[in-house]
Amino acid sequence: MDILWAPWRMEYIKSPRKHTSACVFCEKLHDNRDRENLLLHRSSHTFVIMNPFPYNNGHLMVLPNDHVADMNKLSDEGLLDFIKTTRYCLDCLQSSMMPEGFNTGINFGKVAGAGLGEHMHLHIVPRWAGDASFITVIGETRVIPEHVTRTYDLLAEIFRSHSPI
């Protein structure tokens, strides 16, 4: 029998569950506990958080500050800030983690956003050759080599030291 140790999952398993109709993204934006919420960056129209259940190390989400379901609801300034913030994230990830590529995708609507369709968000997933390997395809298991809070601390420093593009 193969054993895959994932001790960081215990934090999630033991965490209390909130049963609320409020938007989890809006709650994180308005809460002042950025590290606990994995919030890395705030701009005039957009914010950046880490995915607490990443597909890969450095998995970020870019979100508009406004609670909107799709791009058609953003102002021109909000849309420009959203795209510029995405570019800023790519620059920060490239300089800190040196990925060989990225996957990006914007979630619109409930079926596309893991049940969080009321607040559009863009995923950025850094990629390296061999990062998916066989274990994801055959073993239906993903290996994340670094704890998400350690990655947060690294990226928070990078985001503080890099000027937005």
Grade residue 54 by pLDDT with cuts at 50, 70 and 90.
confident
The answer to whether residue 125 is domain-embedded is yes
Residue 6: inside a domain, yes or no?
Answer: no
CA angle (100 as vertex; 99, 101 as ends), nearest 5: 90
Q: Is pLDDT of 58 > 90? A: yes
Q: Is residue 4 part of a domain?
A: no
Percentage with pLDDT > 70 across the chain: 73
pLDDT at 45: 97
Residue 2 included in any domain: no
The residues annotated with a catalytic role in the active site are: 121
pLDDT, tens only, 89-133: 999 999 999 999 999 999 887 776 656 768 899 999 999 887 765
Number of domains in the chain: 1
Reported pTM = 0.80
User: What is the rounded average pLDDT of the residues 131-151?
Assistant: 65
What does the alpha-carbon distance between residue 68 and residue 137 come to, in Å, rounded to a whole number?
34
Q: Which amino acid is at 68?
A: V
Mean pLDDT over each residue of the chain, to the nearest integer: 83
- Domain containing 71 equals 21-161
Mean per-residue pLDDT, 30-50: 95
DSSP assignments along 6-24, one per residue: -TTHHHHHHSPPP--SS-H
More confident residue, 48 or 134: 48
Rounded mean pLDDT, 10-31: 76
Over 80: is that where the pLDDT of 152 sits?
yes
How confident is the model at residue 122, as a pLDDT?
A: 95
Q: What CATH number does the domain containing 107 carry?
A: 3.30.428.10
Which DSSP string corresponds to 4-67? ---TTHHHHHHSPPP--SS-HHHHHHHSS-HHHHTEEEE-SSEEEEE-SS-SSTT-EEEEESS-
Does 101 fall in a domain?
A: yes
How far is residue 108's CA from residue 117's CA, in Å, rounded to a whole number? 6
The pLDDT value recorded for residue 147 is: 77
